[in-house]
Amino acid sequence: MRAAQWFAPRDIRLVVVEKPVPKPHEALIRIESVGICGSDLHYYIEGRIGATVITRPIILGHEFGGIVESVGEIADPSLIGKRVAVEPGIPCMKCEWCRTGHYNVCTDLFFPGGPPYDGVLCEYAAFHADFCFPVPDALGPVEAAMIEPLAVALHTVELAQLKPGETAAILGLGPIGLLTAQIAKREGVGLLIGTDLLDYRVEAGRRYGVDEAFNASTEDTVKRIMQLTQGRGVDVAFDTARSSDTAALACHVVRPAGRCVFTGISGAESDLMPVSVARRKELTVRWCRRFRHDYPRAIAMVAAGSVDVTSLVTHRFPLERTRDAFELVCANADNVLKASVDL
């Protein structure tokens, strides 16, 4: 089968690799669409995320949907022929964290496109059938692939324990930030503030539910948010940026006894955190590790039209142009929000 394989920073080539054969518990999926994630960009540009380093040529990609062509002997045969959204992190289901419902922090997790495992920028993949979720016929390949980032946004807002009428700030208006905005609005957030370093993303924030959006490269983030909240600060601050600076900003813009949720991945092994500020405010600080148990709800929301994932995908590329897709997103060119590779 064809695959887009990473060989070195900014070096992705179309190659031919062996087509997978499903194990007894797996489904063989003909991949239709793969979204490019912010974490993929770190691997593409730097070959690492913190201490997790690519040491050999690897296939990137983990946000995907496709058609089940066959299943192993103990997998559910009713999946055959169905379009599925695939939850990419496959836990061991044996450790303490898996047994207590926190399978997203399993220390023996298989995650495609994160070294040492190959991802899904290829024509076929074999995956644990229990993590293949059929989507309604009305949802296409791109919508199926977008269930993964939507699940991240759902988990992000779940961790915040938002209450109707509360105020919130979203630092970073990329795809996860824009999905978080939509979910927060559905949860009844009152004033929703958004920041980004790019004007076109600031404008996108307004389209996707942000009440007050501004460019943090031209305005002081803390000063502006304090002005908008009459000096109080927001109840919840979401860090959804790929930056080492936004975690500290979140602690500064949230009110005393407020909550911070950190979802963005800076790519660094360590980022600075204003511990004294967080301590004096007695902040509740949560980190988001992907998602857990969120796929069924995410699929239902997209099927009902209550969340818009489709319009976020502004650019689509064939597999042979995977490198072009990455370069476009890296450069934030042509007002790109989300790019997909469609097979």
- pLDDT for residue 266: 86
Going residue by residue through the chain, which has 343 residues, state the pLDDT in tens, using 9 for 90 and above: 999 999 999 999 999 999 999 999 999 999 999 999 999 999 999 999 999 999 999 999 999 999 999 999 999 999 999 999 999 999 999 999 999 999 999 999 999 999 999 999 999 999 999 999 999 999 999 999 999 999 999 999 999 999 999 999 999 999 999 999 999 999 999 999 999 999 999 999 999 999 999 999 999 999 999 999 999 999 999 999 989 999 999 999 999 999 999 999 888 888 888 999 999 999 999 999 999 999 999 999 999 999 999 999 999 999 999 999 999 999 999 999 999 999 9
For residues 201 and 328, state if they share a domain: no
Residue 315 belongs to domain with CATH number: 3.90.180.10
The CA distance from 296 to 198, in Å, is 33
- pLDDT for residue 268: 87
Residue 143 lies in a domain: no
Residue 276 lies in a domain: yes
30 and 69 in contact (C-beta within 8 Å)? yes
For residues 160 and 66, state if they share a domain: no
Residue 302 lies in a domain: no
Give me the sign of the Cα torsion angle 39, 41, 47, 50: negative
Closest by CA position to 37, among listed 325, 333, 318: 325
For residues 175 and 126, state if they share a domain: no
For residues 16 and 115, state if they share a domain: yes
- pLDDT for residue 327: 98
For residues 159 and 210, state if they share a domain: yes
- pLDDT for residue 89: 94
For residues 6 and 119, state if they share a domain: yes
Residue 295 lies in a domain: no
For residues 130 and 156, state if they share a domain: no
For residues 127 and 237, state if they share a domain: no
For residues 24 and 55, state if they share a domain: yes
For residues 7 and 99, state if they share a domain: yes
Report residue 204 as tokens.
């996108």
Residue 140 lies in a domain: no
Q: Where are the beta strands (DSSP E) in the chain?
A: 2-8, 11-16, 26-35, 48-49, 52-53, 58-59, 63-71, 83-86, 124-128, 132-134, 168-171, 192-196, 212-215, 234-239, 254-262, 284-287, 313-318, 338-342
For residues 130 and 6, state if they share a domain: yes
Residue 215 lies in a domain: yes
Residue 147 lies in a domain: no
How many domains does the structure of the chain reveal?
Answer: 2
For residues 197 and 128, state if they share a domain: no
285 and 260 in contact (C-beta within 8 Å)? yes
Residue 141 lies in a domain: no
Q: Give the structural domain span for 176.
A: 152-287
